[in-house]
């Protein structure tokens, strides 16, 4: 029987649990957090990109879980942790020595992603399209960056922003190592 899952050949024919375990043996140090993202499609896009970059963990902070259809089943191969309170998430990050980098364009504290020098133990945080990351979480973030834009639109979709930021981390911390 042909394995029709969207997997690279190395993982074809393995159970979901076997794929998860194989990926766990070589996870990157990057983690991703999603705070109150309202549209399931965007959450699914971020989770799917997180799988593509083999992130260590995905944190979902806020009001609700999400509809997994947008992730195209890639959530089965990732560790996903739910947090009802951002304070508990921040405490976890501090205890594990992680740099929290918020990707947010709607704050004077933000500087361009182009000048960011990432460390291995980074957690990228993304917020909802309308309201962005909450002020309380932004205050706790160690760094705040925006993605430079050159057209008439102020920003890109949060799912696209997550892919760009994950790639920049990977470029610096995986591809250049």
Pair of tokens at residue 19: 């794929």
Which pLDDT score, from 0 to 100, does residue 106 have?
A: 81
**CATH code linked to domain 27-175:** 3.40.1280.10
Which pLDDT score, from 0 to 100, does residue 138 have?
A: 96
pTM metric for this prediction? 0.93
Which pLDDT score, from 0 to 100, does residue 66 have?
A: 58
Residue 28, exposed/middle/buried by CB under 10 A (0-12, 13-18, 19+)? middle
Which pLDDT score, from 0 to 100, does residue 63 have?
A: 66
For residues 23 and 54, the answer to whether their CB atoms sit within 8 Å is yes
pLDDT in tens, the chain (177 residues): 898 888 889 999 999 999 999 999 999 999 999 998 777 778 888 999 999 999 999 999 986 665 555 555 677 889 999 999 999 999 999 999 999 999 999 899 999 999 999 999 999 999 988 788 999 999 999 999 999 999 998 889 999 999 999 999 999 999 986
Q: How is the chain split into domains, by residue range?
A: 27-175
Pair of tokens at residue 72: 């195209």
Q: How many CB atoms lie within 10 A of CB 22?
A: 13
Taken as a whole, the chain contains a residue count of 177
């Amino acid at each position: 029987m042909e394995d029709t899952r969207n997997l690279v050949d190395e993982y074809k024919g393995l159970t979901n649990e076997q794929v998860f375990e194989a990926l766990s043996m070589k996870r990157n140090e990057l983690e991703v957090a999603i705070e109150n993202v309202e549209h399931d499609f965007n959450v699914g896009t971020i989770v799917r990109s997180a799988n593509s970059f083999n992130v260590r963990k995905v944190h979902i902070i806020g009001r609700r879980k999400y509809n997994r259809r947008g992730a195209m089943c890639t959530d089965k191969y990732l560790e996903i942790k739910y947090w009802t309170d951002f304070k508990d998430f921040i405490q976890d990050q501090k205890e594990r020595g992680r740099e929290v980098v918020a990707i947010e364009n709607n704050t004077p504290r933000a500087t361009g992603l182009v000048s960011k020098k990432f460390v291995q133990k980074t957690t990228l945080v993304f917020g909802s399209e309308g309201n962005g990351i909450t002020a309380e979480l932004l205050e706790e973030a160690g760094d705040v960056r925006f993605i430079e834009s050159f057209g008439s639109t102020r920003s890109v979709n949060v799912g696209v922003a997550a892919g760009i930021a994950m790639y920049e981390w990977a470029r610096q911390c995986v591809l250049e190592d």
